[in-house]
Amino acid sequence: MVKGFSEGEAKNNEPFKEVKKEKKGLASFLKGKKLTYTLPGKKQINIFGSLVLGLNMVLVLLVLLYFNNPEFHNFIFNVGR
């Protein structure tokens, strides 16, 4: 006898009835909608890349000012209160 199998097989001749649950929330809202995703174009990639690089440069500049300029350091310190 092989493990996991019983000698007497159970006979189940009833057809399987699928239980359908009503979708709720976001799933019901998106039920009939077809969503597609398109890759960004070269222009959009360049815009976002430039924006990210520009903001990073501004952040580095502000950090350098914070550590090297005592007046700017005091201004940031007082604004944070």
For the segment 25-79, what is each residue's pLDDT rounded down to a tens digit?
777 777 777 778 889 999 999 999 999 999 999 999 999 999 999 999 999 999 9
pLDDT of amino acid 41: 94
Q: What is the pLDDT of residue 51?
A: 98
Q: How many CB atoms lie within 10 A of CB 73?
A: 13
Entry pTM: 0.52
Q: What is the pLDDT of residue 43?
A: 96
What residue has token string 């929330």? 25
Domain boundaries of the chain, sorted by first residue: 40-79
**Can you spell out the DSSP letters for 1-57?**
--TT--SSPPP--SPPPPP-PPP-THHHHSSS---------HHHHHHHHHHHHHHHH
60 vs 8: CA distance, rounded Å: 75
Give the residue, 19 or 35, on which the prediction is more confident: 35
Three-class SS of residue 80? coil
